[in-house]
Homo-oligomer: A and B are copies of this chain.
Amino acid sequence: MNIALLGHGVVGRGVDEIIASRVNDVHVTRILELPDRLSDPRMTASFDDILNDESIELVIECMGGLEPAHTFIMAALGAGKAVVTSNKAVVAAYFQEFAAQAQKTGAALLIEASCGGGIPWIASIEKVRRIDSVSAFSGIMNGTTNYLVDTMRKTGKDFDVVLAEAQALGYAERDPSDDIDGVDVKNKTIIAASVAFNVACRYDIPVAGIRNLTKADMQMFASKGRVVKLIGHGVQRDGHYAAAVEPVALPQSSLEAHVPANFNMVTLEGSTVGILKFYGQGAGSLPTGNAMVQDVLDFKAGRRPVYDFSANLVYDPMLLVSNYVFRTAIAPEGSERYAEGSWLVRSVTASHAREIYAYALESDPTSFYARLPWED
């Protein structure tokens, strides 16, 4: 089988290397690259060279970003070529459009690498859904922020110090906003909700990150037996669904509290299988490349995921209600004292908590908040 790579950066080279060294009968015959980077005879700067090459059955998109990735994926699916992508931003933004295009032409769309890196997360959700309905999912879906909070916890250093170290080591981007503000987790949460609940998940779910998390916050929560992690989660019940991304102060007895370094851990709940958790490298060229090559091999073995989003679920914020803690200068309305300078607000939705947080940021731009799940 002949395939093409769109992009030959860190992930693209990982895919190229894995296929060349470990997979028979799959050949990377064309690679799309920028005009000034054509260092390999397979490379071209023209996407049409790939689109019009009928020997190419499958296109691996690992360019990232919305455009031209969106246009290229639509064109490839339109031409009946299978598409494998690790691009969570473009899938979260255009999942419905891609899925409709794939259904129209019968081309396959495979997105394992867009969520959870090397963890077989999307394929596992789809497998569980063959038998069970998935009632909920949640997890640590971003390695950079887990590295930051885990290092803060273990070293007692403050956020900025650990972030600067992570940037020096290449664990965090020069502009870390997408990671620390929860944008990356938002994209993954939207994709996971769409696959798990068979719904075109709305794009404007409540999202908060960990930019304002301090050493003092970590210590305050530690004194309560809790560890802060950035969590994406979703739930469906009785024709309704909801999803959110927010810092969560987990009990130290939970497995997630102990996920180290840049690892991810995701959980789903099925009717007969019960709770399943998956743990692994959420990023990195080889784990992500591995996930893309698994999609290629699944396609070769006949797997054709169907995303028709036909479950007519209604978004309902009331499905996500919990207690929240706000560390902010002025006590939010209706709150009670949780710790010095921190306030507990009971039984509010994730959406309402995000609104309280936005309001708190206006008077105190250093404010932080976290959901407080029940002790298990």
> A: which residues have CB within 8 A of B?
14, 18, 22-23, 118-120, 124, 127, 130-132, 253-255, 257-260, 263, 265, 270, 272-281, 284, 286-287, 289-291, 293-294, 297, 301-303, 376
Contact = CB atoms under 8 A, between A and B. Distances in A.
Which secondary structure dominates chain A's binding surface? mixed
Number of copies: 2
A280 B287 contact: no
A132 B289 CA distance: 12
Given A253-B258, A301-B302, A119 B280 contact: no
Contacts of A132: 22, 290
A278 B116 CA distance: 14
B272 A287 contact: yes
Nearest to A252: B258
A278 B281 contact: no
- Which of A120, A270, A272 has the largest count of B CB atoms less than 10 A from its CB? A272
Given A23-B131, A120-B127, A287 B273 contact: yes
A131 B293 contact: yes
B273 A281 contact: yes
Contacts of A275: 263, 279-281
Contacts of A287: 272-274
Contacts of A273: 118, 280-281, 286-287, 290-291
What 5 A-B pairs are tightest by C-beta distance, nearest first?
A: A277-B279, A272-B286, A118-B273, A276-B280, A273-B290
Given A253-B258, A272-B290, A130 B297 contact: yes
Contact of A255 (B259, B272, B290): B259
B281 A279 contact: no
B272 A18 contact: yes
- Which of A23, A119, A278, A301 has the largest count of B CB atoms less than 10 A from its CB? A278
A186 to B, nearest CB: 25
B22 A131 contact: yes
Contacts of A276: 118-120, 278-280
Given A274-B280, A287-B274, A302-B302, A294 B130 contact: yes
B18 A294 contact: no
